[in-house]
Structure formats: structure tokens, C-alpha cells
């Protein structure tokens, strides 16, 4: 049994800068606050999208504060997927957030109104001026 665990430890992905433009997605189940340091190492390298699941809700605020600070320094981004599930990406990636439905509808209405203003003919302008 010990050989199996030794083999798993030996073949575990470690942060390294010799990836030759390969990108990875790595899942982290965080139970203690000091486990966030490994996540920060992967983000600094810039080749790993990290999925963070917090087992202990009391460490979310402080741990995500560290991640937020690092993402600000490296131009990364953070997305909350659930109460205890987050995604952090380095600067090589962009999280595209879906526009709220109301905002999308407003932009369509404004576009249609601006197109109507352009379609006014000279005769219509003359008629409006005579009134």
C-alpha cells in the first residue's frame, strides 16, 4: 500500500516553468488556510486554471483575500461559482461573464431607437418644422 502512495506522490503535478505552453486545470479541495499557498504558486506561473473548493467555510474570506490580491498583481481573474466553489485564472485567460438579460434587452432597445432616428427623411423633417 505504501508503494501506491509513493507512486502517486512521485507522479503528482508540481508547479514548474518548463511546460512548453501547455495549460492545465487543477482542482483544489482546501481544508486548511495554509493550503492556499500551493494555489498561489500555480497562479504565479500562469499556465493553470485553478478550481477552489473550500471544505471549511471559515477560511474562505482570508484565503480568497490572498487569491484576490495575487490576481490583482498578475492581472488574473476570479469567478465565484457557488458559496464554497471558486475559479481563479492567470493573465493568459479571460473569464467571459454572461450579460444579465435586462441589460441585453436595454441595449437592443437603444440600438433600435438610434436606428429609427437615422431613418428620418427630409420630408419628415420639413413637416415637423412647419408644425
Distance separating alpha carbons of residues 6 and 63, to the nearest angstrom:
29
Residue 50 lies in a domain: yes
Q: Which residues of 98-121 are buried (b: 16+ CB within 10 A; e: fewer)?
A: eeeeeeeeeeeeeeeeeeeeeeee
Question: What is the extent of the structural domain holding 28?
Answer: 2-89
For residue 48, what is the domain's CATH number?
A: 3.30.110.150
pLDDT at 32 over 50: yes
Q: Is residue 75 part of a domain?
A: yes
pLDDT bin (cut points 50, 70, 90) of residue 130 is very low
pLDDT per position as a tens digit, 112-129 = 666 555 555 555 555 444
Amino acid at each position: 500500500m505504501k508503494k501506491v502512495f509513493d507512486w502517486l506522490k512521485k507522479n503528482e503535478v508540481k508547479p514548474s516553468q518548463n511546460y512548453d505552453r501547455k495549460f492545465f486545470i487543477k482542482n483544489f479541495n482546501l481544508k486548511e488556510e495554509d493550503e492556499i499557498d500551493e494555489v498561489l504558486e500555480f497562479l504565479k506561473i500562469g499556465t493553470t486554471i485553478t478550481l477552489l473548493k473550500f471544505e471549511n467555510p471559515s477560511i474562505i474570506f482570508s484565503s480568497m483575500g490572498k487569491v484576490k490580491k495575487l490576481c490583482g498583481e498578475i492581472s488574473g481573474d476570479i469567478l465565484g461559482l457557488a458559496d464554497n466553489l471558486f475559479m481563479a485564472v492567470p493573465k493568459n485567460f479571460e473569464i467571459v461573464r454572461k450579460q444579465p438579460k435586462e441589460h441585453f434587452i436595454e441595449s437592443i432597445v437603444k440600438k433600435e431607437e438610434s436606428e429609427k432616428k437615422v431613418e428620418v427623411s427630409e420630408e419628415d423633417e420639413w413637416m415637423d418644422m412647419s408644425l
